[in-house]
Amino acid sequence: MPRPRTVRLAAPPPRSAVTLEPFRDPVIIKGVEAHLTATDKPDDGTLLSRTRAGDRAAFGELVDRHKDALVGYLTRLVGCPDNAEDLAQETFLRLYEHRDRYVERGRLGGYLYTIATNLVRSRERQKKRRRLLRSVFISPNGHGHDPPQQAALLVDELQETLGKAVASLPVHYRVPLVLHEIEGWSYKEIGALSHCREGTVKSRIHRGRKLLKGKLGPYWRGDRSA
């Protein structure tokens, strides 16, 4: 009976002979490095926790991470890069001031957009209040009188006074005045809401302006103590 053939297995190559050339491809190396770098970066929640603990560098990293996208968003909203940057700075300031209120859900970017959008809305309301103020100081024939210089130096106080004056108007004057001058409604739209004719709406707005001018008389005359 013939003896079975012996199968000789080749010995494994020595470890020193194993080549790593396929893993030295620069594309592969770059991808691995990028992956390691990304995984090494702390997430927004971690950075905010460090910020709460007093780590200002962590907050600076948050700003660097989100500022470009936020400024781009605001620029599209307001149409002016300079104003967008100012609003972005104010947004991050609000985030820092209220850092303890934020609950991490992996949506810090969306939270920043919400703050920024509210700031834009607030500025728009301020512009509309100034438009209402100008309408009070403009005569019916279209010729305006410049408010006194003293009032120009006290804009914040005047705006607060204006708000209180508007709130004190009778409702049937206040509603059409605010809807037209601040919200931008047409006479027709206000008439439909109030169930009255456009002429009545115009008359009430005119009367509301006159009442406001009377309440803001001290500013009109440049005499705040009156």
Tokens (6 digits) for 126? 């301020």
Length of the chain: 226
- pTM, 2 dp: 0.51
Residue 80 has pLDDT above 60, yes or no: yes
Pick the residue with more confidence: 76 or 224? 76
Average pLDDT, integer, range 179-194? 84
Element holding 158 (H helix, E strand): helix 155-167
Q: Which domains, ranges and CATH numbers included, belong to the chain?
A: 41-124 (1.10.1740.10), 148-221 (1.10.10.10)
Question: Per-residue confidence at 13, pLDDT binned at 50, 70, 90?
Answer: low
DSSP, res 168: T
Tokens (6 digits) for 30? 């770059």
Pick the residue with more confidence: 174 or 163? 174
Identify which of 138, 154, 158, 156 has the alpha carbon closest to the alpha carbon of residue 146: 138
Pick the residue with more confidence: 145 or 217? 217
Identify the weakest region by mean pLDDT among 16-25, 48-57, 131-140, 167-176: 16-25
pLDDT of residue 205: 92
Residue 124 has pLDDT above 70, yes or no: yes
Element holding 60 (H helix, E strand): helix 56-78
